[in-house]
Amino acid sequence: MDRIARVKAHPGYQELVRIRRRFAWLLSAIMIIAYFGYVLLIAFDKPLLARPIGDGVMSLGIPLGFGIILLGIALTAIYVRRANRDFDARLETILNEVGE
């Protein structure tokens, strides 16, 4: 059996792919829902975003908009952290066990 087939047959590989995919799609879904939620607010309820949040002129749209930018950076950081600590180690184990 060649290396690709042996990796594919390895139970750890199947598990890694499943977990990693679920995690990646979950984070993607959070980003997409947050962003298109924001876009839909712009499309259907502009006054809500323009509404002041305190006594001054600062509107709800500003912390919300900045929040989406920061959310994007945070989700990216969460993925990289988990990939570096968890996924890479699993993958290395699998490749070592399978051999050349």
Partner 1 sequence: MNWTAIAMFAAFVALTLWITRWAAQRTRTASAFYTAGGGITGFQNGLAIAGDYMSAASFLGISAQIFVDGYDGLIYSIGFLVGWPVILFLMAERLRNLGRFTFADVASYRFAQAPVRSFAAISTLIVVAFYLIAQMVGAGQLIKLLFGLPYTYAVMIVGALMIVYVLFGGMTATTWVQIIKAVMLLAGATFMAIMVMAQVGFSPEALFARAVEVKTSLALAGGATAEEAATRGLSIMGPGNFIRDPVSAISLGLALMLGTAGLPHILMRFFTVPNAKEARKSVLWATTWIGYFYLLTFIIGFGAIVLVATNPAFLDANGALLGGGNMAAVHLAAAVGGDVFLGFISAVAFATILAVVAGLTLSGASAISHDLYATLIRKEGADPNAELRVSRIATLVLGVVAILLGILFETQNVAFMVSLAFAIAASGNFPVLILALMWPGATTRGAVIGGLLGVTTALVLTILSPAVWVSVLGHAAPIFPYSSPAIFSVPIAFFGIWLFSKTDRSARGAIDRAGFADQEVRSETGIGAYQASDH
Q: Which residues bind partner 1 (CB under 8 A)?
A: 3-4, 7-8, 13, 16-17, 20, 24-25, 27-28, 31-32, 35-36, 38-40, 42-44, 46-47, 49-52, 54, 56-59, 61-62, 65-66, 68-70, 72-73, 75-77, 79-80, 83-84, 88, 91, 94-95
Distance CA 54, CA 44 (A): 23
Return the structure tokens found at 66. 């900045």
Q: What angle do CA 24, 40, 22 make, to 5 degrees?
A: 10
Nearest distance from residue 69's CB to partner 1, in Å?
Answer: 5
Nearest distance from residue 11's CB to partner 1, in Å?
Answer: 14
Contact partners, residue 13, CB within 8 Å, separation at least 6: 7, 94
